[in-house]
Structure 1
Amino acid sequence: MRVLGIESSCDETGIALYDTEKGLLAHALFSQIEMHAEYGGVVPELASRDHIQKTLPLMQQVLDEAGLQRKDIDAVAYTAGPGLVGALLVGAAIGRSLAWALNIPALPINHMEGHLLSPLLEANPPAFPFVSLLISGGHTLLVDVKGVGEYELMGESIDDAVGEAFDKTAKMLGLGYPGGPALAALAEKGQEGAHIFPRPMTNRPGLDFSFSGLKTFALNTWHNSDQSEQAKADIALAFQTAAVETLVIKCRRALKQSGHKRLVVAGGVSANKSLRTALDALPKVQVYYPQLQFCSDNGAMIAFAGAMRHQAMIAETEATFNVRSRWPLDELTPPASA
């Protein structure tokens, strides 16, 4: 079965073709970072218009690379949420229209489920069950994953997600957009131990996250510093160290609570080298990540998630299409057998 995946939830247009027998056949991605950098963040209207311009050409590029035609597609999977509504509507309208024209299934996919399942694209994928740390955009989630569509939320961010905190702290330090990777790069020049930042919500039980206060602590430290380039690097390192250790502490708790020995980490922040190093050091735990190219938003994860849901015989939605700016994982339809 060949599934075409369309990702258009925010500022990246991703298209991919996944074959359930041969694996990923082809994929393409266009990032809008350069366009949005001028404004210091994503402009929703510009994002939507760019998706309109890029989706069909990228789709043709992927088909050409795979040596296939549209009639060879067996199903279309598209991101239906969460995300920017205008951007989501572009992918949904194109995906549904193509499915209608070809008389094939259309599969609305939860963006976060796409990230959650993306490490299963690897040659040695994790087996179910496992704990998943999802750290993408405005989301920081810990999920007990029993199978495709079977998710139990264990913890989540109650204010800023870790990715948002990285970006906002980077902006405070004048690092531009996108801020997360820039802050991580600057942290490599920081002096270890120059500052000790708090590890939020680790001195109490539970698996929820809060990174807003850590961002404010970084801002106050910056205002009280000499605001030199070295001070900037020291703050970047202290912030990253505190954020990473907080994530590790919560992951350790989630693994103990669930009894699982496998941890899957996915989403844009999963590309952070310091985080990977710290999680890989967890004793008696197998840690899995997507390839770096699949950490950010991409069509491959949507095509794969669509194929997995179709194989699990999870019911599709009605023939009309809807998108959701917010769509919690635990509201997803489980397999018919569950």
Structure 2
Amino acid sequence: MASFLPSGRSPVQPALSVRNLEKTYASGFQALKGVSLDVRGGEILALLGPNGAGKTTLISIACGLVNPSGGSVLADGHDVVREYRAARERIGLVPQELFTDAFESVWATVTFSRGLFGKPPAPDYIEQLLRELSLWDKRDARVMALSGGMKRRVMIAKALSHEPGILFLDEPTAGVDVELRRDMWRMVDRLRQRGVTIVLTTHYIEEAEEMADRIAVISKGEILLVEDKAVLMRQLGKREVLLTLRTPLTELPRMLEGLPLTISEDGTTLVYAFDAAGGGPGIAALLAQVSASGIDYVDVATRQSSLEDIFVSLVRSHA
């Protein structure tokens, strides 16, 4: 299959560059408020945010479906408004909604999508694409006769039919079963290995945690942060030590005051929270202090905060 690597991109030029992007609808609602964001070539960026945060508006502007009120978006250096054709041929979009040519066959609709971008016929490429998406056996079936999951695969095939270097996945696994979701993420990983730049939105934050290289969090039309996933987990992640107590407590002994310790509502668990990067006494030192205070515990467990915990914390702080 094609490498998808754009030949004209500078090694330091981002695949997608968003600068001071604004969007205010006729109703007066401001969906985007000065959004700036760079997406590196060949990476997977997860764009996370609550409903109404501006994710779909941002993607729609980047794909030329919605006009911005201000600012700019460059796709491989091409302005999506002033150089629409050059920009759009570099972009593939898998939208949330299942828009399909219901009466056409799978082969016909994917081939037609390729032709819309002025690409010459490439039956070998289309065949390989359908095989990778487990659609080859359905190539002659009408799209209207397929299941929802198979229609989602067709949407991905259409988005990739013209060999774009940038792929937008807007909630690509919404409403699909676990097996299909797993297959789709394997395909996404193969695309990344070939150099495709991928921007995805998802409500399954564990998917972003597993797949993404970087995380961008958007809320109320503003970007709260853009960070490498590993750095984000290290800087904002929290770890907890949970001590199950033999005898419930109502308050901490005086010698433990000042430590980041809390008691559960029922008094049966002592919780010690510390950042994942370190700080505070180590677990062994903590246990020694707890024992010296006279507290008797029967079990010790640790818990690491997830990307979902970090995301919820950021959005609540912004709200």
TM over 0.5: no
Question: Whose Rg is larger?
Answer: 2
> Which one has more relative contact order, counting CA pairs under 8 Å at least 6 apart?
1
TM-score (normalizing by structure 2): 0.22
TM-score (normalizing by structure 1): 0.22
**Which structure is higher in helix share?**
1
